[in-house]
Amino acid sequence: MEGDKYRQDGVNIEEGDDFSAAAAKVCQSTYGNSPFVKITDMSRGNFRGPRGFDIQNLRGAIQTIAPDGIGTKVVIIDAAQTYGMAARDVFAMTASDITRWGGMPLIFASVLDVASLGQKGDPINRAARQVIMGAHQAANEIKVVMLTGETAELGFCVSSENPQANLKFNWAGFMVGVYHPDKIILGDNLAPGQIIMALKENGFRSNGISSVRKALKIKYGANWWANPEAKQDIIACAEPSVLYDRFICHLNGWIGSYPTIEMHLIVHLSGGAFESKFANDLLFPMKLSARIDNLFEPPAIMKKCAEWRGMSEEECYSTWNGGQGMIVVIDPEDEKNFIGLAKGFDLVAQRCGVIVKNDKPSVIIESRFGSGKTIIYKPKAR
């Protein structure tokens, strides 16, 4: 009787257990993904049972944890019904916070909060299960282990801009990874003349999505998610993140004995993009500058959202990635090799700029948002 009342109050224990058991099987299928992770499963078949891990074959490595989530992109993912792609966003946001310093992501655990899991087989339930199954594919791609996770039905505590959303959810997690003193990349060897390589991104990743949602509202009305004319643009806005981590780990010698290419700096163009993550955090403290004149063309949907929202080109490059999710500084002689190796990982790379030394530090960007305007970021007074 208590169980019935709990269900009436919004929590389906039976479905929650069944869902968690299915998610546990997805996790177990990834336990062999990494030669550096040994999983000890003491669960005896109980999805709630104990499981642990050892980091192996990595003498001198230092363990780290990177927590993050996909923020309000969940609203767009639900409207686009691309639930199976959501994992690429949460993996990108957590794993890349390790690889951007030359580390290697190894183990992922998540917290999936939903308003409701629905009933087995209904649209809500199918959507939630697609979210978890998508994580299996992303984990296999970048060779990380999904150790465990938590799913909770939280009713009105998980809401949405769209009151008719099929799956109201928040998804965050953390990535366990390692650094090594011999592989850490902090920009210590940055020097004028080194070149900046861009890795192409096809969408927004999980940053600046509040401005994306506002742009959709301006263009398609307050109920943009229900406007049939918005469908293709919503799907474009939900484009999942490109995963660069396996490639970066390969370059840095985690996959093999020695680095393939020496990387002097790696920048994940997430929140704050060029102005914050590249200029303010890294270049300016070193009294260095950059001239960037060959960026990738921004995705068409990014240009549309910029126009609808009325964003300046400077705001675009401060908020969004502009068509490249990660940039890497290397020596000029390694350019051709970098591009070829990226292609082997199904990634597109191109030279986009150069590190320079100016009297006063600055990052100068030739915009690709339409006007060809020159954008200049300078250190801000503190």
From CA 7, how far away is CA 2, in angstroms rounded?
A: 9
Tokens 């200049």: give the residue: 376
Please state the separation of Cα 6 from the chain's center in Å: 36
* Residue ranges in the chain modelled with pLDDT below 50: 1
Residues 25 and 99 in one domain: yes
Q: Is residue 60 part of a domain?
A: yes
Name 200's bridge partners. 324
Whole-number Å distance between alpha carbons of 164 and 227: 13
Burial of 241 (0-12, 13-18, 19+ CB in 10 A): buried
Indicate whether 173 and 244 sit together in one domain: no
**Residue 279 backbone dihedrals phi, psi, to 5 degrees:** -70, -65
Question: Looking at the structure, do residues 261 and 341 belong to the same domain, yes or no?
Answer: yes
Instruction: Tell me how many domains the chain contains.
Output: 2
3 state DSSP class of 247: helix
106 plus 218 within the same structural domain: no
Let me know if residue 354 belongs to a domain.
Answer: yes
Is residue 217, in this structure, part of any structural domain at all? yes
Would residue 202 count as lying in a domain?
Answer: yes
* Residue 199 and residue 165 share a domain: no
Q: Residue 186 falls within a domain, yes or no?
A: no
Residue 311 lies in a domain: yes
Q: Is 280 a domain residue?
A: yes
Do residues 40 and 151 both lie within one domain? yes
Q: Return the axis-axis angle of helices 209-220 and 300-309, rounded to nearest 10°.
A: 70
Give me the sign of the Cα torsion angle 255, 261, 264, 267: negative
Contact 264, 252 (CB under 8 A): no
Same domain, 237 and 275: yes
- Cα distances (angstroms) measured from residue 49 to each of 12, 44, 191: 21, 7, 52
62 and 150 in a single domain? The answer is yes
What pLDDT, in 10s, does the model give residues 232-268? 999 999 999 999 999 999 999 998 766 789 999 999 9
- In this structure, what are the phi and psi dihedrals at residue 260, rounded to the nearest 5 degrees? -80, -40
Give pLDDT tens digits for 166-200.
999 999 999 999 999 999 999 999 999 999 999 99
- Judge if 121 and 82 occupy the same domain: yes
> Does 251 share its domain with 316?
yes
First to last CA, the chain: 62
Render pLDDT for 112-143 as a digit per residue (tens, 0 to 9): 999 999 888 899 999 999 999 899 999 999 99
Within a domain: 185: no
Range of 108's domain? 2-179
pLDDT reported for residue 1: 46
On whether both 258 and 124 belong to a single domain, the answer is no
Give the separation between CA 125 and CA 59, rounded to whole angstroms: 44
Q: Which of 179, 209, 242 is the last residue of a domain?
A: 179
- List Cβ neighbours of 352 (8 Å cut-off, separation of 6 or more): 196, 197, 198, 292, 293, 294, 295, 296, 324, 327
Residues 218, 164: one domain? no
The CATH number of the domain holding residue 202 is: 3.90.650.10
Q: Count the helix, strand and coil residues of the chain and give each as a percent rounded to the nearest 5.
A: 40, 25, 40
CATH value at residue 161: 3.30.1330.10
DSSP-derived letter for residue 156 is G
